[in-house]
C-alpha cells in the first residue's frame, strides 16, 4: 500500500510564502492498494496535482480506473473535482462514493458546484469519463480496488463527515478528516473504526487552545487526534487538515505538541508525522 498526500489544508486553499513546506492545497489523499488500482480520499484542490500526475499513465489513454471516497461535500473536499483532468478523458472509469440519503442526492450535490453560475466548462454528465455515483450505507462494508471499506459518520457541521477504514489484506488505513467530537472526545464507534490501524490520518485543524476557542466549527484539535490514536491503539498517527491561517512554523509546533501529548497519554509507541503536500508514505 502506498499513500500520497496532494492536499493537507482545511477549509480553504492557503498558498503563499508561509505555507510552502506543508502546502496550501485542500484535502486530497491517494492510496495505491497492494494489488494495484487507485483509491482517492476527498477531492479538495490537491486533486488537481494528483490528476496531472496520472495523465502520463493509463488515465491519459482512457484506460484508467479509480474509486473516489468523499468524506463530505464541503468546499475543501470537492473543489478539486472539476479540475481533476482524468475525468475529462473518455474511456476512464470512476466510482464516487459519499454520504447522502440517496445516490441521486449525492449526484445533485456534485452537479451543484458545476452549475453554470459557478463553473464555466462542463457538467458532470459530459465530462468524458464514465462516472458512477453511489451513496454509502453506513455500517455496510463495500469493496473497492480489492480493499474492504467501512465508513462511519463523525460529528461535523449539520450533516457530519464520513470517516473511512480501508483494509488491504489485513492491514488498515483509517482516514478521519473533519471530526468535531466535542468535549466527550471520540465516540466508541469512531474508535472502533480506527482500531489497530497501521495509519490513522486524522483531522488536526487546531492547537488545543484554538480547538476550544472555535469548538462550534466542528473540527479536531491535535489533542483530539491524539485521543483518537491512543484509544484506537493505532501504529502511526498522521496529522492532517491544518487551519488555513497556520504557517509552517505553526504546524511544526502543532506536531511537536502532538508528540508531547502522545508521550504523556499512553501513546509513546505511536509514531507521529504531520502530513506534507507532495509526500508519500509506504506501508
Ligand atoms: Zn474540511
Alpha carbon of 262 to ligand 1 centroid (Å): 24
Environment of ion ligand 1 (residues, CB < 5 A): 10, 76, 178
If you average pLDDT over residues 65-77, what whole number do you get?
A: 97
3-class secondary structure per residue, the chain? CEEEEEECECCCCCCCHHHCCCCCCECEEEEECCCCCCEEECCCCCHHHHHHHHCCCHHHCCCCEEEEECCCCCHHHHCCHHHCHHHHCCCCEEEEEECCCCHHHHHHHHHHCCCCCCCCCCCHHHCCCEEEEEECCCCCCEEECCEEEEEEEECCCCCCEEEEEEEECCEEEEEECCCCCCCCCCCHHHHHHHCCCCEEEEECCECHHHHHHCHHHCCCEHHHHHHHHHHCCCCEEEEECECCCCCHHHHHHHHHHHHHHHHHCCCCCCEEEECCCCCEEEC
Alpha carbon of 55 to ligand 1 centroid (Å): 26
Alpha carbon of 123 to ligand 1 centroid (Å): 24
Looking at residue 282, its pLDDT comes to 95
| pLDDT reading at 227 higher than 80 | yes
Q: 6-42: per-residue pLDDT in tens?
A: 999 999 999 999 999 999 999 999 999 999 999 999 9
Alpha carbon of 209 to ligand 1 centroid (Å): 19
If you average pLDDT over residues 60-89, what whole number do you get?
A: 97
Alpha carbon of 78 to ligand 1 centroid (Å): 10
The pTM for the full model equals 0.97
Alpha carbon of 151 to ligand 1 centroid (Å): 17
Alpha carbon of 194 to ligand 1 centroid (Å): 19
Q: 231-250: per-residue pLDDT in tens?
A: 999 999 999 999 999 999 99
CATH number of 2-282: 3.60.15.10
Alpha carbon of 44 to ligand 1 centroid (Å): 9
Amino acid at each position: 500500500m502506498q499513500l500520497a498526500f496532494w492536499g493537507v489544508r482545511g477549509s480553504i486553499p492557503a498558498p503563499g510564502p508561509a505555507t510552502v513546506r506543508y502546502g496550501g492545497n485542500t484535502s486530497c489523499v491517494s492510496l495505491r492498494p497492494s494489488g494495484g488500482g487507485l483509491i482517492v480520499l476527498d477531492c479538495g484542490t490537491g486533486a488537481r496535482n494528483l490528476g496531472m500526475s496520472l495523465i502520463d499513465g493509463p488515465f491519459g489513454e482512457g484506460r484508467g480506473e479509480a474509486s473516489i471516497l468523499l468524506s463530505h461535500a464541503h468546499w475543501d473536499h470537492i473543489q478539486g473535482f472539476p479540475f481533476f483532468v482524468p475525468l475529462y478523458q473518455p474511456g476512464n472509469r470512476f466510482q464516487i462514493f459519499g454520504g447522502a440519503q440517496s445516490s441521486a442526492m449525492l449526484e445533485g450535490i456534485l452537479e451543484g458546484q458545476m452549475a453554470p453560475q459557478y463553473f464555466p466548462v462542463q457538467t458532470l454528465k459530459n465530462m468524458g469519463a464514465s462516472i458512477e455515483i453511489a451513496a454509502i450505507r453506513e455500517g455496510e462494508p463495500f469493496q473497492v480496488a480489492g480493499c474492504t471499506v467501512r465508513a462511519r459518520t463523525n460529528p461535523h457541521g449539520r450533516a457530519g463527515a464520513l470517516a473511512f477504514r480501508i483494509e488491504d489484506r489485513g492491514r488498515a488505513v483509517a482516514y478521519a478528516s473533519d471530526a468535531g467530537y466535542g468535549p466527550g472526545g471520540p465516540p466508541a464507534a469512531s474508535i472502533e473504526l480506527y482500531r489497530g490501524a497501521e495509519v490513522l490520518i486524522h483531522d488536526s485543524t487546531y492547537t488545543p487552545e484554538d480547538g476550544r476557542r472555535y469548538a462550534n466549527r466542528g473540527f479536531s484539535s491535535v489533542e483530539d487526534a491524539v485521543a483518537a490514536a491512543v484509544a484506537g491503539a493505532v501504529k502511526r498517527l498522521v496529522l492532517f487538515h491544518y487551519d488555513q491561517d497556520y504557517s509552517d512554523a505553526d504546524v511544526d509546533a502543532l506536531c511537536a505538541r502532538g508528540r508531547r501529548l502522545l508521550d504523556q497519554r499512553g501513546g509513546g509507541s505511536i509514531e507521529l508525522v504531520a502530513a506534507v503536500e507532495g509526500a508519500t508514505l509506504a506501508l
